[in-house]
Amino acid sequence: SQKIEQNSEALNIQEGKTATLTCNYTNYSPAYLQWYRQDPGRGPVFLLLIRENEKEKRKERLKVTFDTTLKQSLFHITASQPADSATYLCALGSMEYGNKLVFGAGTILRVKS
Amino acid sequence: NAGVTQTPKFQVLKTGQSMTLQCAQDMNHNSMYWYRQDPGMGLRLIYYSASEGTTDKGEVPNGYNVSRLNKREFSLRLESAAPSQTSVYFCASQSLGGTYEQYFGPGTRLTVT
């Protein structure tokens, strides 16, 4: 079955630094990968999508890379701020599976001022 | 635009009781989903509906039933609640154009004693 691994330990960084979160997967050939942000007590909110034929995607301070050979995505937040503190989830999707998403467990990011 | 709404926000049940979680979306999406989220396990798909009139099992369907009442509404029913169903439940709808992003409701925190 498909398996997605994200850093199980929380990532603690200093304000202004770049946060890098990892998403690794096995037994899956996704057509696309998404990143979501989840704040405590709320539902996830979509951030970015990257397709299998794209190496990198940027949106403001966010950058996502997708390496289908390594079966890995990296999610970067540059110039991090305390407001970036949240749980970040990666999700894989494919039209082959009817666009149902498979989610990782998420990584908690804490940005300290 | 309310997006995705869920009721109730909180619920406490005794073992064996039944209840229905309600979900509605106003974005005219065909696809809707029910997930449960448990600590350390991420979002797991319970049931989904690719379009009005169709429903299919996800990863963890046992103990649940669903109804796609119309294009807007997708309900989740627990016929005989068990402590193992204590969780946070999220409903989502999905845009199939562009980013395939899922829009999540605020969640229902269910405790079964």
pLDDT tens for residues B94-103?
Answer: 987 778 899 9
What pLDDT, on a 0 to 100 scale, did the predictor assign at position B98? 79
Average pLDDT over residues B83-97: 94
How far apart CA A44 and CA B95 sit, in angstroms, is 15
Residue type present at position B31: S
What is the end-to-end Cα distance of chain B in Å, rounded?
Answer: 36
How many Cβ pairs closer than 8 A exist between chain A and B? Answer: 52
CA angle, residues B100, A4, B109, in degrees to nearest 5: 70
Nearest CA in chain B to A39: B106
Residues (pLDDT < 70) of chain A are none
CB atoms within 10 A of CB A67: 10
Nearest CA in chain B to A10: B40
What pLDDT, on a 0 to 100 scale, did the predictor assign at position A97? 81
Q: B55 pLDDT exceeds 90?
A: yes
Torsion angles phi and psi, residue A95, rounded to 5: -65, -25
The CA–CA distances, whole Å, from B112 to A5, A64, B18, B43 equal 29, 39, 10, 19
Mutate to test the interface with A, among B6, B38, B101, B103 (most CBs of A within 10 A): B101
Average pLDDT over residues B82-101: 92
Question: Which residue among B48, B103, B106 sits closest to A100, beta carbon to beta carbon?
Answer: B48
A41 burial type by CB count under 10 A (0-12 exposed, 13-18 middle, 19+ buried)? exposed
Q: At a CB cut-off of 8 Å and minimum separation 6, what does A97 contact?
A: none
What pLDDT, on a 0 to 100 scale, did the predictor assign at position A29? 87
Average pLDDT over residues B18-35: 97
